[in-house]
Structure 1
Amino acid sequence: MFKVGDKVVYPKHGAGTIIGVEEREVLGKKQQYYIIDLSIGGLTAMLPINKAEKLGIRKVIDEDEVKEVINVLKGDKSKMSKNWNRRYRNNLEKIKTGDIYEVTEVVRNLTLRDMEKGLSTGEKKMLNNARQILISELVLAKEMDEEQVEAMINDIFYSDDKS
């Protein structure tokens, strides 16, 4: 169980901080809810405590895992289907897992593909969504602001020195 102040990731929505635990009655049933302030977008999410594990709520990564995420971003593009529909579905499944390395792979692969060949409108939206999820977690893990994290990611892809 998490507590107020814990930094957590809500798969498909991003990272945030638990700012409260409240009991609410929904459809005639009282339940305890985590109140999560999502770090990007100014949104607040209510999540039933008894469904947190099933929904894949997890703690934000630590500094060692941040280094691994950076290594994944710097890595080579994974083999992807040439069929955009299949590629889209595969990437969507990766994002749904809530696994930071899977999301990072989607960001890396779609960014590199966009630089090489461009992306469809759907894949551009997916890339933006995956980037926001990644950035939201790195903001909390590295205690940096959104612009700093975005600049760090952009430097990986768009700087002349890719080492």
Structure 2
Amino acid sequence: MFKIGDKVVYPMHGAGIIEAIEEKEVLGETRQYYILRLPVGDMKVMIPISNCEDVGLRQVIDNDGVQRVFHILREQSTSMSDNWNRRYRANLEKIKSGNIYEVAEVVRNLVKRDKEKGLSSGERKMLENARQILISELVLATELGEDKTKSMLEGVFA
């Protein structure tokens, strides 16, 4: 169980800080919820405490994790299917996993593919989504702020 002030990652949405734990009635059922503030995009999310394991809520990575993310971003891209649909589904599964290292792989692979061959509009949207998820966790893990984190990320691909 998490507590107020914990930095956590909500897969497919990004990282945030638990601001409160509240009991709310939704659809006639009273449950306890984490109230999560996502700094990137300034969004608030309610997550039922009983569903945390199912949705993959987890702690934000530590400094070693940050180093590993940047190592992954600098590596060669992994081979991807030439079939757009297969590639899209494989990347979507990685993003849905909530695993920051897999999200970093998606960002790296799509950025490199964009430079080589360009991206379809669907993959471009996926890249932006994966980049936002990655940035949101790195912002909380490094405490450098969104602009500095974005600059660091862009510096890897420059």
TM-score bin, normalised by smaller chain: over 0.9
Q: Secondary structure at the match of 1:8?
A: strand
TM-score (normalised: structure 2): 0.99
Match of 2:134 in 1: 134
Structure 2 unaligned spans of 5+ = none
Cα drift, residue 53 of structure 1: 0.9
Cα drift, residue 122 of structure 1: 0.2
1:99-138 matched pairs, under 5 angstroms:
99-138=99-138
In structure 2, give the amino acid aligned to 1:17: I
Match of 1:84 in 2: 84
Q: Secondary structure at the match of 1:5?
A: coil
Match of 2:93 in 1: 93
Percent identity over paired residues: 60
Q: Secondary structure at the match of 1:25?
A: strand
Per-residue Cα deviation, 1:16-36 (whole angstroms, up to 9, x for no partner) = 000000000111110000000
Match of 1:26 in 2: 26
Per-residue Cα deviation, 1:32-72 (whole angstroms, up to 9, x for no partner) = 00000002001000000000011000000000110000000
Per-residue Cα deviation, 1:104-146 (whole angstroms, up to 9, x for no partner) = 0000000000011100000000000000000000000000111
Q: What is the alpha-carbon root mean square deviation over aligned residues?
A: 0.4
Cα drift, residue 147 of structure 1: 1.0
In structure 1, give the amino acid aligned to 2:131: R
Aligned equivalents of 1:156 and 1:27: distance in 2? 46
Structure 1 unaligned spans of 5+ = 159-163
Q: Secondary structure at the match of 1:53?
A: helix
Cα drift, residue 84 of structure 1: 0.8
Runs of 4+ in 1 over 4 A off after TM superposition: none
Number of positions where the alignment pairs a residue of Structure 1 with one of Structure 2: 158
